[in-house]
Structure 1
Amino acid sequence: MSGAAELASGKGHKDENFPVASRLVRPELRPAILAFYRFARAADDVADHATAAPERKLAQLDGLEAGLRGERGASPEAEALHAVLRARGLPDRHPLDLLEAFRRDVTQRRYADWAELMDYCRYSAAPVGRFVLDLHGEDRHCWPANDALCAALQVINHLQDCGKDRRALDRVYLPLDALAAEGIGVEALDAPRAEPPLRKAIAGLAGRTEELLARSRPLAGQIADRRLSLEVGVIQSLAESLVVRLQRRDPLSERVHHRAPEALALALRGGAAALLARLRPARSLEA
């Protein structure tokens, strides 16, 4: 196997837990978002490959960086994103930050505490939202709320997939101090269902994620682009529902993901909330 394509999982943007370049986004911007997604997916597949050696993974990530910087023949996904960045006058900061996170995935399998996990999310999650905001020409005053939302989405995925990550890659994103506080270690994730101490640890981490979502709630109202604001409102609503489920359900043995009708109802609620958030400043001025 000679390239990142050989390590591909076959997953696409429709397989993700949250919307990626949905029809709410302006049509002319969707191809750029999908180019960013495909670059991120290629890097994620490399980092998460179950059998490739760490040295090979790091070499493939270096190849993605080379393509991102304009080297021909290094990676079609990276070359495509490089072309998008040049055409739109955008910096390569955000995809380069993502590569830092994927390199950490190769070399780091444990996180000591919440602060260390949040530092990881600064590279693995925040750049995605920042890229989309920059693409839309949004003001960077949106970044703090964006970073909180993106970190929350990342942790939600970690909590939902905690058993699978442990089994497939021996990678545990649940902070070790949160497990130790309940008198358990990472071995608790090996059970077919979570025992009460692990359930308590997961619920506690979901509670901390709820705090992130409280900080991200103003984001939809801060965004100037109406369509992007609606998409963010939808994502916020889906995420808020999932953290409640993670405080009540066992991700090792129970379904946490939304079924299609549930997701649609939450999406409508989130879109309506975003519209109301956009109307409030206008109403305040009229008053």
Structure 2
Amino acid sequence: MSANDNAQATAAVPETSVEAWSGKDKADENFPVGSLLIRRELREHVHAYYAFARNADDIADSATLSPADKIARLNIMEEVLTGASAEGAPSAARLRASLAQSGVTSIHARELLVAFRQDAVQNRYADWAALMDYCRYSAAPVGRYVLDLHGEDKATWPASDALCASLQVLNHLQDCAGDLRSLDRCYIPQDMLAKAGCKTDDLARGETTPALRAVFDQMLNLTEALNEAAAALPGLVRARRLRVETAIITRLARRLTARLRHGDPLASRVKLSKVDFITAATLSLGRFA
């Protein structure tokens, strides 16, 4: 895949705006988005990027739009982002202006659209490699954008990619039941389910079976390896405030991994607590500030 994999779509879209905000915002995320640790003059750019990603994600996750409609809307978002169209996607226009001011390339936003177009037409993943390829476009661009915005070296990208992939997989595990019920979408690798004697529909149960627990644990084992690779990130980041933020996020990823080890995502949403955030911030400030 590449950021130029624009599927053809002929579905009609609204003339005013293709975007339809779901109501979710930064407060609904597991991890800090444009927090106070980000330098004041950069926060508006992070918020512009987040708004673009949020609106594109809402299109891809719509339960009422057809796949063709979703792709047509996402294509318009990219056209506005790149300046090929002047209007039709306010968050894309805002991000275009932000990128022009900050000097950051549009590739990190355009690559997100690759994943969202994929979400419009694909609802199953064959194996871990396929899931990691999806994360390369759905998650890695976020970390790369923030690092580029701060002028960090590309040597930070591998550790950042690992962290972003970890966060994405953890989110998939948190939401696995809801994704299946609302969108018939399953990010749990099909080969892992089959080897354990499970079916995708088992995710719709009210509680996790022992066999499905083994699948979740296998995914968490692989996620722990991502967390280990991500642990190097804070030490590679030059900007002090961003270094602290990445340290906090890597700690939170490890904590959420542990919570999912002992929690049942089919029975209720396993999530971080205020204590988790406070502990991660305190430890990270003490070591990396």
TM-score category of the 2 structures, normalised to the smaller one = over 0.9
Q: Which amino acid aligns with 2:67?
A: P
Query: How far off is 1:255 after superposition?
Result: 4.2
What does residue 185 of structure 2 align with? 171
Q: TM-score, normalised by structure 2?
A: 0.92
- Whether 1:115 aligns to 2:103 is no
What does residue 265 of structure 2 align with? 251
Distance 2:285 2:182 in 1: 36
Q: Which amino acid aligns with 1:29?
A: L
Q: Percent identity?
A: 47
* Residue deviations 1:201-223 (CA, integer Å, cap 9, x gap): 11110111010010010100100
Query: How far off is 1:267 after superposition?
Result: 2.5
Query: How far off is 1:274 after superposition?
Result: 3.4
Aligned with 2:64 (options 45, 51, 55): 51
What does residue 7 of structure 2 align with? none
The residue correspondences of 1:44-123 to structure 2 (distance < 5 A) are 44-70=57-83, 71-123=85-137
Are the aligned partners of 2:255 and 2:276 in contact in 1 as well (CA < 8 Å)?
A: no
The residue correspondences of 1:172-251 to structure 2 (distance < 5 A) are 172-251=186-265
Q: Which amino acid aligns with 2:176?
A: C
Q: Number of aligned residue pairs: give it.
A: 274
* Residue deviations 1:118-154 (CA, integer Å, cap 9, x gap): 0000000000000000000000000000100000000
Are the aligned partners of 2:217 and 2:261 in contact in 1 as well (CA < 8 Å)?
A: yes
What does residue 284 of structure 1 align with? none
Query: How far off is 1:231 after superposition?
Result: 0.4
Distance 1:197 1:104 in 2: 29
What does residue 25 of structure 2 align with? 12
* Residue deviations 1:243-284 (CA, integer Å, cap 9, x gap): 111122111114421122332223222333434xxxxxxxxx
Aligned with 1:135 (options 138, 144, 149): 149
Q: Which amino acid aligns with 1:56?
A: D
Distance 1:273 1:125 in 2: 26
Bigger helix share: 1
Query: How far off is 1:54 after superposition?
Result: 1.1
Distance 1:238 1:143 in 2: 19
Q: TM-score, normalised by structure 1?
A: 0.93
Q: Provide the aligned C-alpha RMSD in A.
A: 1.2
Are the aligned partners of 1:210 and 1:240 in contact in 2 as well (CA < 8 Å)?
A: yes
Give the secondary-structure state (helix, strand or coil) at the position aligned to 2:197. Answer: coil
Q: Which amino acid aligns with 2:288?
A: A
Distance 1:110 1:13 in 2: 27
Are the aligned partners of 1:182 and 1:200 in contact in 2 as well (CA < 8 Å)?
A: yes
- Whether 1:157 aligns to 2:171 is yes
What does residue 6 of structure 2 align with? none
Q: Which amino acid aligns with 1:141?
A: A
Q: Which amino acid aligns with 1:17?
A: N
Distance 1:140 1:60 in 2: 31
- Whether 1:42 aligns to 2:55 is yes
